């Protein structure tokens, strides 16, 4: 019996030392010390020993073995659980060091970038910057621009009306042209100003149209201004903004607030034409609405879409992409 205990004890020690996981150790614990374990079986055999002395001696050896193996299992358990903790820490660790660096610097939206570059180019050409309100009177937005209530051109703008004052008297401006009138009222000619801003039209949005977009208006009023000055200014701007390999042309068109009126297109280096905006000589009625004597002064005006320019410059396929604020889109510019 005593020899059996020694053999089992030695074997068990070896198996405990080799256990490589807590699970394996738990199985061993049951095998060795459990009710049906080899030591328990020996223990139940104690009663069959002949003498009290033999029982005592075997019992002592057995108890020592049980205590020693219990201690061995516990100490192996500690070793293994520390090891498993290390593994787990390693496995689940998150690298937080990137949050310790300075935050990544953001940048302006591509429409803001285009807006700022446009201002820079026009300032370089001697223009000043002005802005007007987004909520505008019907008078500034339409009437002063030679579009009386009955004028067919008014229906070209599907307008958002604002519930303010008498019905139909307040609108979200449909273009930046009303700022021409405000500038004429606040500035004595000569006037060389550009007026960027947000405009609103009741449009169904699609890949080339938005209900909220941006325009930049230009107004020049001086003595002896002619259509040649308009064409020359547009061309100088085109080359300064897009590059010297770009060109421009005017195509006859119609706007109630300019006479004559034109669309202006830019020629890209591959020879294709891109429609950019409208322009023309300021209509005498508009000068009068702005408090300027058309006999003494003349001028030209132009207006075009900023979003459209950003779209073309960066080859964006769908204008709506520019306003969904998807970080994967925004980060490209």
Whole-number minimum distance, CB 290 to ligand PHE, in Å?
13
Supply the angle between the helices 2-18 and 52-92 in degrees, to the nearest 10: 0
18 vs 208, beta carbon nearer ligand PHE: 208
Answer whether 74's CB lies under 8 Å from 66's CB: no
Question: Residue 37 or 218: which CB sits closer to ligand PHE?
Answer: 218
* Cβ-based nearer residue to ligand PHE, 61 or 287: 287
Helix (H/G/I), strand (E/B), else coil: 142: coil
Cα–Cα distances (Å) from 299 to 86, 193, 261, in that order, read 79, 12, 12
DSSP H/E element including 91: helix 52-92
Give the pairing of strands 247-255 and 258-267: antiparallel
The residues with which 161 forms a beta bridge, in sequence order, are 171
Give φ, ψ of 200 to 5 degrees.
Answer: -135, 130
Pick 32 or 302: Cβ nearer ligand PHE? 302
- The least distance separating ligand PHE from the CB of residue 95, rounded to whole angstroms, comes to 52
Kindly tell me which of 29 and 217 has the beta carbon lying closer to ligand PHE: 217
What's the min distance (Å) between Cβ of 304 and ligand PHE?
7
Contact 299, 219 (CB under 8 A): yes
CB neighbourhood size of 91 (10 A): 7
Instruction: Give least dist CB 311 to ligand PHE, A.
Output: 17
**Distance (Å, whole) CA 7 – CA 305:** 94
With contact defined as beta carbons under 8 Å apart, do 246 and 238 qualify?
yes
CB of 268 to ligand PHE, least distance (A): 21
With beta carbons less than 8 A apart as the criterion, state whether 221 and 229 touch: no
Q: Which is nearer to ligand PHE, 69 or 210 (CB)?
A: 210
Rounded least distance, CB 277 to ligand PHE, Å: 6
Binding residues for ligand PHE (CB under 6 A): 175, 177, 217, 255, 258, 277-280, 301-303
Give whichever of 59 and 260 is closer to ligand PHE, judged by the CB atom.
260
Nearer to ligand PHE, 213 or 242 (CB): 213
| Cβ at position 188, least distance to ligand PHE in Å | 21
Q: Which of 242, 281, 241 is nearest to 259 (CA)?
A: 281
- CA-angle at 170, arms to 114 and 282, nearest 5°: 55
The β-bridge partners of 240 are: none
Tokens 């401006």: give the residue: 173
d(CA 139, CA 167): 13
Q: How far is the CB of 92 from ligand PHE (least distance, A)?
A: 59
The nearest distance, CB 163 to ligand PHE, in angstroms, is 24
Reported residue count of the chain is: 333
Nearer to ligand PHE, 56 or 251 (CB): 251
């Amino acid at each position: 019996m005593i020899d059996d205990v020694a053999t089992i004890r030695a074997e068990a020690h070896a198996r405990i030392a080799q256990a490589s996981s807590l699970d394996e150790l738990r199985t061993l614990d049951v095998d060795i010390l459990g009710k049906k374990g080899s030591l328990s079986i020996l223990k139940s055999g104690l009663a069959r020993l002949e003498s009290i002395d033999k029982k005592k001696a075997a019992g002592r050896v057995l108890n020592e073995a049980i205590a020693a193996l219990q201690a061995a299992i516990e100490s192996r358990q500690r070793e293994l659980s520390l090891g498993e903790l290390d593994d787990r820490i390693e496995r689940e660790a998150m690298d937080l060091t990137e949050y310790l660096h300075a935050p990544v610097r953001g940048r302006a939206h591509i429409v803001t970038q285009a807006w700022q570059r446009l201002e820079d180019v026009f300032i370089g050409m001697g223009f000043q910057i002005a802005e007007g309100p987004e909520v505008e009177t019907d008078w500034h937005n339409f009437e002063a621009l030679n579009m009386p209530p009955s004028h067919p051109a008014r229906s070209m703008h599907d307008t958002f009306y604002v519930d303010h004052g008498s019905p139909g008297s307040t609108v979200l401006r449909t273009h930046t042209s009303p700022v021409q009138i405000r500038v004429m009222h606040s500035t004595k000619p000569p006037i060389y100003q550009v007026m960027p801003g947000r405009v609103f039209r009741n449009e169904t949005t699609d890949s080339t149209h938005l209900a909220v977009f941006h325009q930049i208006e230009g107004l020049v009023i001086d003595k002896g201004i002619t259509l040649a000055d308009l064409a020359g200014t547009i061309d100088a701007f085109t080359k300064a903004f897009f590059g010297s390999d770009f060109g421009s042309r005017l195509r006859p068109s119609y706007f109630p607030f300019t006479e004559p009126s034109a669309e202006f297109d830019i020629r890209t280096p591959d020879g294709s034409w891109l429609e950019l905006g409208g322009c023309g000589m300021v209509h005498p009625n508009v000068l009068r609405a702005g408090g300027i004597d058309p006999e003494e002064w003349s001028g030209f005006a132009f207006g075009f879409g900023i979003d459209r320019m950003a779209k073309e410059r960066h080859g964006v396929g769908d204008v709506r992409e520019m306003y969904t604020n998807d970080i994967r889109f925004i980060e490209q510019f």
